[in-house]
Amino acid sequence: MFGRARILYTIAACTAATSAAAQTPAPMTTAFDGIYVGTATLTGVAGACATITSVDMTIEGGQVVVREIPFNGGPWFFQGTVNAAGEISTYLWTHWEGGLVNVLSGKLEDKVFVGHHLHGNRCAYIVHMGPLPAPTMPFDGDYIGVSRETSDGGPECPPKAVPATLVIRNGGVVAGGSWQGNVSPQGALVMRNLLTTRTDGQIDNQGVIRARGRNNAGCTITFVWRKQTR
């Protein structure tokens, strides 16, 4: 009797567990999931508006994150959603300028996004993005700033800080604040920005960039970036 009761209890427990597992929703996905990259072109007032060097968007389960990298600073992150029609609505709330709200919205059709970024009531950008292309070089990717240290200089040299994100696409440094340059197939970097005459670096097999250069004031600056894994 006790054995039969134990068997019935076990069957009931297994049935309940199976029913609970069947009710657990699968991770949500949409036809728009993926990573998109592109440009944001200024169309409004140019005087006090930032130049945006690159923009990318990640969609996962209907949730949207858009990242813009200005020419000098950033990055800016917008968050929002996409509906079944491909209409995207995101925003970024800032603590400065009296709590300014940035709105970035548009529509995704045939894997191509066209939209607008409104920076308060002063600056306007038109945004175009398409699917992220497959990397053509092993060093392509986003490199997050780790450190910036200065030596061999006076009080005019920049203090210690974390450098802006550095983005490498097709072997070229196309973003990351104000950096411009290129990467060799062996991982050697040569790049410049507005304040640095030249910076040379190397990407190691762990995805770490170590670079050194001198700025126009004669300061020696050492940078470290680390590749971001998605």
Domain boundaries, the chain: 34-131, 141-227
pLDDT of residue 149: 92
C-alpha 217/C-alpha 219 separation (Å) is 6
C-alpha 117/C-alpha 39 separation (Å) is 11
pTM: 0.53
CATH of 141-227 given 2.40.128, 2.40.50, 1.10.3470, 2.60.40: 2.40.128
What value does the mean pLDDT take over residues 135-145?
Answer: 83
CATH of 34-131 given 2.160.20.70, 1.10.10.10, 2.130.10.10, 2.40.128.620: 2.40.128.620
Residues in the chain: 230
* Interval 3-61: pLDDT, tens: 454 444 444 444 444 444 444 444 466 789 998 988 888 886 656 788 887 888 999 98
C-alpha 110/C-alpha 131 separation (Å) is 10
pLDDT of residue 26: 46
C-alpha 64/C-alpha 155 separation (Å) is 43
Domains 34-131 and 141-227 share a fold: yes
Burial class of 41 by CB neighbour count within 10 A (0 to 12, 13 to 18, 19+): middle
The runs of H, that is alpha helices, within 1-115 are 2-23
